[in-house]
Amino acid sequence: MVESDHALRRLPFNRERRVLVIGAMRRLADDLRATGWDVDLRRAPTLAEGVHAHAQEFRPDRVVVAHPTSRSGLALVRRLSDELPVPVEMRDPVGFITRPGELAGILGRRQPRMDTFYREMRRRLDLLMAPDGTPEGGAWSLDRENRQRPPRTRDLGVPPPWLPRPDDPLDAALRQEFADLPETGAGGERVMAASRAEAEAALDRFIEHRLTSFGPHQDAMMEDDWAMSHAFLSGPLNLGILSPERVARRVADALDGGAPLASVEGFVRQVIGWREYVWGWYWMRTWRGVNGLGADGPVPAALRGAPTRMRCVDATMQGIHARGYSHHIQRLMVLGTLMLLRGTQPWRALQWFQASHVDASAWVMAPNVIGMALYADGGRMMTKPYAASGAYIRRMSNYCASCLYDPGTATGPTACPFTTLYWDFLDRHRGDLGQNPRMSLSMRNLDRRDDLPTIRVQARDCTALLDGGGA
């Protein structure tokens, strides 16, 4: 096992990302040693140099490696296959149900769509399926039941998630060890499991105390409830500590204990549907240089530490600053939408997400940021951009109640930047989006506006504020 200096310094990672990843490596090494394995855990300038040093010292007759989860990792394995004096055997990837390249085979000649893929995965795994081959409950998706607005309370009022002990000695030591590296975030709050035992405890806690309330409000955002009913299992899943199929089956089995089908189905869809679909999409194309909308702007200043008056952005960034975490709707509909509407260059956006979030593996962030959030692949992955005005944030959160901006206003001193930039985005990209049938209603609404000249001017001022700080 190699701790690579290059990997540690590649980006100004959130401190808790290094604490999670390196902590998981060291805990795994200790667990393996306790069960009789010989473990060579070493620090090296690069991963390649660490492997070469190990091979020179221990003289193995072969090197066996799981299929990497990134293109750069795969290129490294192929390079090592040429450089090492012994064979390199590559096995299936750890932490996934499908193999790289399998998505195209599952979908055949059909247009790639997550729903088609998800149905096939349900059938393949026989998960939430009735004996006659129909979906449990009669519907493949219970999404409509799982898009409720947040309640009129300060929080959801559900039991808190499993969290590691705040005085964990290894976490404290790692924060001190990496204190001199370029980083973002204040650190100090690890929220995801870093060992198999911790991950099992987090899964148990979610199923027993939080799964029931997960479904209805999985797409909602609340100012005083950063955890909502989310499971916080993406980190250990991405690190290969948990098996996604086993997690999905355990959650599906909770139906027998009275868990509501909508919550169970919503969670299973995320694990065997969306997660595996994104994994497949990562290997279907290269992502660097993809920029179908020609975006060339920077990451907004508020996401780089500048103060902001946008309450939704401020609340989301507080969580990232402290924990390296924001949940999927905050990522897509607050952070991603802001970058989409502003016109942030896709690779810059990707690097920001990778640096700021503790669970931001390359395979998940490239399709999610470039293909989904920024619609930069020209609509190959998604049928329409996830562009939204402040009205969406008002509907699905309670942020707007304490914000000085009015999500229903596109011009004037209290106009919501999301709303101003939404209409300007549609106006700027008429040529790219005007023929998209799923955008027809939005385009008709755009054509009805008689304040577009004013919106264009305000959008330029808003963009300058976003780039310089103060929006």
For residue 20, what are the CA distances in angstroms to 73, 176, 358, 445, 469? 20, 14, 7, 46, 31
Amino acid 27: pLDDT: 98
Cα–chain center distance at 369: 8
Cα–chain center distance at 383: 19
For residue 363, what are the CA distances in angstroms to 72, 150, 277, 281, 286? 11, 31, 11, 9, 11
HSE toward the beta carbon, residue 292, CA cutoff 13 A? 21
Domains and CATH numbers, the chain: 2-91 (3.40.50.620), 102-282 (1.25.40.80), 301-468 (1.10.579.10)
Please compute the mean of the pLDDT values over residues 321-342 and round it to a whole number.
97
Least confident of 230-234, 342-346, 371-375, 431-435: 431-435
Residue type at 406 in one-letter notation: D
At residue 31, does pLDDT exceed 90?
yes
* C-beta separation of 214 from 263 below 8 A: yes
Distance in angstroms (rounded) separating the CA atoms of residues 465 and 313: 14
Distance in angstroms (rounded) separating the CA atoms of residues 254 and 209: 11
Please compute the mean of the pLDDT values over residues 364-381 and round it to a whole number.
95
* C-beta separation of 427 from 458 below 8 A: no
Residue type at 70 in one-letter notation: S
Confidence of residue 395 (pLDDT cuts 50, 70, 90): very high
* C-beta separation of 291 from 346 below 8 A: yes
Amino acid 104: pLDDT: 85
Distance in angstroms (rounded) separating the CA atoms of residues 205 and 333: 28
Amino acid 187: pLDDT: 79
Amino acid 105: pLDDT: 84
Amino acid 188: pLDDT: 87
Confidence of residue 108 (pLDDT cuts 50, 70, 90): confident
At residue 54, does pLDDT exceed 80?
yes
Closest CA to 429 of 379, 365, 468, 394: 379
Percent of the chain with pLDDT over 90: 94
10 Å CB burial of residue 168 (0-12, 13-18, 19+) is middle
Per-residue pLDDT reduced to its tens digit, 114-158: 999 999 999 999 999 999 999 999 999 998 899 999 999 999 999
Residue type at 302 in one-letter notation: A
List strand residue ranges (DSSP E) for 354-409, in order. none
HSE toward the beta carbon, residue 368, CA cutoff 13 A? 26
Please compute the mean of the pLDDT values over residues 74-96 and round it to a whole number.
96
For the record, the structure tokens of 340 come out as 């989409």
Amino acid 180: pLDDT: 94
Distance in angstroms (rounded) separating the CA atoms of residues 287 and 381: 12
Instruction: Give the pTM.
Output: 0.96
Per-residue pLDDT reduced to its tens digit, 291-301: 999 999 999 99
Residue type at 143 in one-letter notation: D
Please compute the mean of the pLDDT values over residues 14-24 and round it to a whole number.
96
Distance in angstroms (rounded) separating the CA atoms of residues 295 and 405: 26
Burial 31-59 (b: 16+ CB within 10 A, else e): eeeeeeeeeeeeebeebbebbeebbeeee
Closest CA to 81 of 59, 100, 97, 65: 65
Neighbour count for residue 353 (Cβ, 10 Å): 25
Range 65-68 contact pairs with CB under 8 angstroms and sequence separation of 24 or more? 65/89, 65/90, 65/91, 66/90, 66/91, 66/92, 66/93, 66/94, 66/240, 67/91, 67/92, 67/93, 67/99, 67/100, 68/93
Closest CA to 282 of 72, 78, 18: 72
Percent of the chain with pLDDT over 70: 99
Residue type at 43 in one-letter notation: R
Closest CA to 224 of 151, 285, 161: 151
Question: Which residue has 């930047």 as its token pair?
Answer: 417
Residue 152: what are its φ and ψ, rounded to 5°? Answer: -85, 55
At residue 111, does pLDDT exceed 90?
no
Per-residue pLDDT reduced to its tens digit, 400-417: 999 999 999 999 999 999
DSSP bridge pairs for 135 = 129
3-state secondary structure of 295: coil
DSSP letter at 112 equals P
For the record, the structure tokens of 388 come out as 């939204």
At residue 110, does pLDDT exceed 80?
no
3-state secondary structure of 71: helix
